[in-house]
Amino acid sequence: MDMFNAIVQVLDSTIRLSVPLLLACLAGLYSERAGIFDIGLEGKMLVGAFAGAAAASVFHSAYIGLGMAILISVAFALVHGFASITHRGNQIVSGVAINFIAAGSTIMLGQAWFQQGGRTPALASDERFGAIIWPGADALRSVPILGPIYSELISGHSVLVYVAFLAVPFTWWVLFRTRFGLRMRAVGENPAAVDTAGISVAWLRYRALICTGVLTGIAGAYLSMVQNGGFVKDMTAGKGYIALAALIFAKWKPVSAMFACLLFGFLDALSIRLQGTPLPLIGKVPVQLMQALPYILTVILLAGFIGKAIPPRAGGVPYVKER
Amino acid sequence: MSTPYAKLPAWADYGLIPVINLAVAFVVAGFVVLLVGENPFRAAAVLVEGAFGRGQGIAFTLFYATTFIFSGLSFAVAAHCGLFNIGGEGQGYIAGLGIGIVCLAFDSVLPWWLTFPLAIIAAAAMGALWALIPAYLQAKRGSHIVITTIMFNFIAASVMVYMLVGMLKPANSMAPQTRTFLDGAQLPKLNWVIELFGAKIRSAPFNITFLLALVVAFLVWVLIWRTRLGYEMRTYGHSPKAARYAGISETRIIIVAMMISGALAGMMALNPTMGDQHNVALEFVSGAGFVGIAVALMGRLHPVGIVLAAILFGMLYQGGAELAFEMPAISRDIIVIIQGLVILFAGALEHMFRPYVQALFASLSPRTVGMEAVKGKGA
């Protein structure tokens, strides 16, 4: 029974840890499917986290915080678009720039506005997104097996967690069942064909980037307003890159993206859980190895040893009308 | 990258446009300073004063610049071959392992002028090896170099944490770093050069690695513009198809270019370890690998430009520290913002102002831009 409870706990923290990855991963899915490589997920998530926590603590409302996170994150996405769509700049260079500007400005503004060494004030409970307890969760807790699963795993998360998991089927539907999705996929594969059909490539890509901004904003808000009661500097800590890795791992498909993020979240949860405890058969696994595992797996996948990841064909290439 | 724009005179292309881009980056940074309620002009004055006002400041500026010259050159060499090496940070970090092993092994037996060449070789070799795997995967398996080098940055960080809390740490210490190097692995300072000009320096880490950086910058220039290999790299960077048609081996050129790039990134680790801290500590690279991207883009991938841009960024780092001290509302992170803005305006938006500059040149003297025959085209 102890073993079972431990498993439920690890799975519960898997969900919590994979939510920001999942949101960022889906965000990347929109932009990359539209043909824009997005190294800047990290930065957009970071500004979202900062804007969310800052606005929530100033206006004392979690929803204003969330709105602000989305707004600022979209603004950064549009800067990325302005550089890489309108001015046909290098998408990777502009993404790197976004990350730097985000890292610097969040700390500097945080320090100047709140004077807590780059942190925002700790958020009160009504300024955060609290847990939603599903009906009957407490009553069913004592039921063996199903009880803990229902009350720990399914119930008791914040609204953003459910938003993240609902975003998966929604993204699938947008991508594969709507006209916008079809065109977006087309613009990532063959923008010239879309252009010939009389549809604006630039406007489509901008819309995809707005979707990216919205999702990274929610991801940021989750980090600073759910997982942590306030913004801490550099709190994304490479999650944007892991999300990028998960996106490649998932071969740019929404449902696979969810499983990839759950896998990476599970590795993270496991490495926290297993710190210092030896495993049967293997012995003590260094924490660093567990932490590096998502990256190592991605490299192996990219090398084509586990299936082949083929990116959208027009990704990374600015579209030039007329040759 | 093909430019659909008409040509500008060389001085405008390599001088005017970067200066305009830089100026815009600083104007935007000025707005950020305004946002925190400080005077941007006074901030700029404090920054320049802090970097060049006293001998101490100049020494620190050049110390920071040393590291950035290496990382800028590293990025530039790969970029000439059309490869985006974002992994300089990791390659530099892992090079600390090579330096650490060499220094710990030889610092008690050899003088510094024998340890130094060994450490250079070790650093370059480790950096090159760390770049080899992404290069091989790009060349042979077609996996995207940007993603793999990012992943290798994180893997390098994990490896270094593992080594520093494990093998490299002295047994009786808690701090995750090597023991302090003895005299045999401490590089001589160059502060006396600045003192020749009458300035006083209390203590600054400006050291002999700076000269190495200048020599390496020259060698990179020779490599890129005066050797067959460099020509092949530039050819591949301009047009992989043309390179293939000319019989240049794709695999060889990618791997060679990335290994040179990695070796240069590795050498950047010499300055903070042997030149300054005299140990290998956690996070000793502290973002210098990423600064190299900004430096290389600012310097338009040319060694002379890179040295100048590295000094500019050295100035920002040193002046930024003074700025944070003088104006508490502005933290050191203003440098990171400026760095990002420089990458944005000098890198991603490098062509934003070009049409305007071209229009200006065309109206002043059409011949300089070769616009007589093709008026209205391009710009």
Structure confidence at residue A281 (pLDDT): 62
- Our CA angle for A7, A10, A13, nearest 5°, is 150
Please indicate if any CB of chain A lies within 8 Å of the CB of B290: yes
Ranges A124-128, B187-191, B240-244, most confident? B240-244
Under DSSP, the state recorded for B276 is I
Task: Convert the pLDDT of each residue in B74-108 to its tens digit.
Answer: 999 999 998 989 899 999 999 999 999 999 898 88
Query: What is the chain B residue with the closest CA to A315?
Result: B144
Maximal CA-CA distance, chain A = 69
H-helix segments, A134-238: 137-140, 146-148, 159-177, 179-189, 191-196, 201-222
Q: How confident is the model at residue A120 (pLDDT cuts 50, 70, 90)?
A: confident
Listed by start position, the domains of chain B span 61-311
Listed by start position, the domains of chain A span 19-237
Q: Do B340 and A101 touch (CB under 8 A)?
A: yes
- Residues from chain A that touch B147, judged by Cβ atoms under 8 A, are 244-245, 248, 298, 302
Q: Among A28-42, A96-110, B16-30, B355-369, name the one with the lowest average pLDDT.
A: B355-369
Which contiguous run of DSSP H or E holds residue A131? strand A131-132
Q: Do A299 and B143 touch (CB under 8 A)?
A: yes
Q: Do A108 and B159 touch (CB under 8 A)?
A: no
Q: Among A284-288, B218-222, B292-296, name the one with the lowest average pLDDT.
A: A284-288
- Residues from chain B that touch A104, judged by Cβ atoms under 8 A, are 333-340
Structure confidence at residue B171 (pLDDT): 78
Q: Do B340 and A97 touch (CB under 8 A)?
A: yes
Tell me what percent of the residues of chain B surpass a pLDDT of 70.
94
Say yes or no: domain B61-311 is CATH 1.10.3470: yes
Bridging pattern class, strands A157-158 and A131-132: antiparallel
pLDDT at residue B51 greater than cutoff 80: yes
Computed over every residue of chain B, the mean pLDDT equals: 86
Computed over every residue of chain A, the mean pLDDT equals: 84
Strand spans (E) along chain B: none
Q: Are B297 and B64 in contact (CB under 8 A)?
A: no
- Residues from chain A that touch B154, judged by Cβ atoms under 8 A, are 238, 241, 292, 295
Ranges A5-9, A220-224, B55-59, most confident? A220-224
Please indicate if any CB of chain A lies within 8 Å of the CB of B37: yes
**Could you tell me how many CB contacts below 8 A there are between chain A and chain B?**
156
Structure confidence at residue A276 (pLDDT): 64
Q: How many CA atoms lie within 13 A of A157 on its CB side?
A: 23
Task: Convert the pLDDT of each residue in A173-206 to its tens digit.
Answer: 999 999 999 999 998 888 888 888 888 888 999 9
Q: How confident is the model at residue B228 (pLDDT cuts 50, 70, 90)?
A: very high
DSSP B312-353: HHHHHHHHHHHHHHH-TTS-TTHHHHHHHHHIIIIIITTTSS
Q: Do B147 and A245 touch (CB under 8 A)?
A: yes
Structure confidence at residue A102 (pLDDT): 92
Q: Are B266 and B127 in contact (CB under 8 A)?
A: yes
The residues in A 75-94 lying below 8 A from B, measured between CB atoms, are: 79, 83-84, 87-94
Query: What is the chain B residue with the closest CA to A248?
Result: B147
- Residues from chain B that touch A83, judged by Cβ atoms under 8 A, are 344, 348-349
Amino acid type, A316: G
pTM for the model stands at 0.86
Structure confidence at residue B379 (pLDDT): 40
Q: Are B141 and A302 in contact (CB under 8 A)?
A: yes
Q: Do B340 and A84 touch (CB under 8 A)?
A: no
- State the nearest Cα–Cα gap between B185 and chain A, in angstroms: 29
Query: What is the chain B residue with the closest CA to A40?
Result: B340
Structure confidence at residue B5 (pLDDT): 56
Q: Which tokens belong to B82? A: 């059309």
Q: Do B36 and A112 touch (CB under 8 A)?
A: yes
Segment B370-376 shows an average pLDDT of 48
Please indicate if any CB of chain A lies within 8 Å of the CB of B325: no
Contacts of A54 (CB under 8 A, 6+ apart): A65, A68, A109, A110, A113, A114, A120, A231
- State the nearest Cα–Cα gap between B58 and chain A, in angstroms: 24
Query: What is the chain A residue with the closest CA to B331?
Result: A108
Q: Which tokens belong to B56? A: 């101490």
pLDDT at residue B3 greater than cutoff 60: no
Query: What is the chain A residue with the closest CA to B35?
Result: A109
What is the Cα–Cα distance from A95 to A203, expressed in whole angstroms?
A: 19
The residues in B 154-213 lying below 8 A from A, measured between CB atoms, are: 154-155, 158-159, 161-162
Structure confidence at residue B378 (pLDDT): 43
Segment A143-171 shows an average pLDDT of 82
Task: Convert the pLDDT of each residue in B329-338 to its tens digit.
Answer: 787 888 888 8
Amino acid type, B205: P
Q: Among A26-35, B62-71, B196-205, name the one with the lowest average pLDDT.
A: B196-205
β-sheet bridge partners, residue A283: A279
What is the Cα–Cα distance from A185 to A207, expressed in whole angstroms?
A: 13
Task: Convert the pLDDT of each residue in A4-22 to its tens digit.
Answer: 778 888 888 888 889 999 9
Instruction: Look at B205 and B7; give whichever has higher pLDDT.
Output: B205
**Closest by Cβ to B154, choosing from A100, A241, A309:** A241
What is the Cα–Cα distance from B275 to B278, expressed in whole angstroms?
A: 7
The residues in B 77-96 lying below 8 A from A, measured between CB atoms, are: 84, 86
What is the Cα–Cα distance from A229 to A88, expressed in whole angstroms?
A: 39
Segment A213-229 shows an average pLDDT of 90
Tell me what percent of the residues of chain A surpass a pLDDT of 90.
28
Instruction: Look at A90 and A219; give whichever has higher pLDDT.
Output: A219
Structure confidence at residue B203 (pLDDT): 79
Q: Do A288 and B158 touch (CB under 8 A)?
A: yes
- Return the residue in B32, B35, B349 with the most chain A beta carbons within 10 A, the one to mutate for interface testing: B349
Q: Do B340 and A238 touch (CB under 8 A)?
A: no
pLDDT at residue B375 greater than cutoff 50: no
Ranges A63-72, B29-38, B325-334, most confident? A63-72
Instruction: Look at A143 and A56; give whichever has higher pLDDT.
Output: A56
Q: Closest Cα partner for A236 from A244, A74, A153?
A: A244
Structure confidence at residue B374 (pLDDT): 47
Structure confidence at residue B2 (pLDDT): 41
What is the Cα–Cα distance from A78 to B36, expressed in whole angstroms?
A: 23
- State the nearest Cα–Cα gap between B330 and chain A, in angstroms: 7
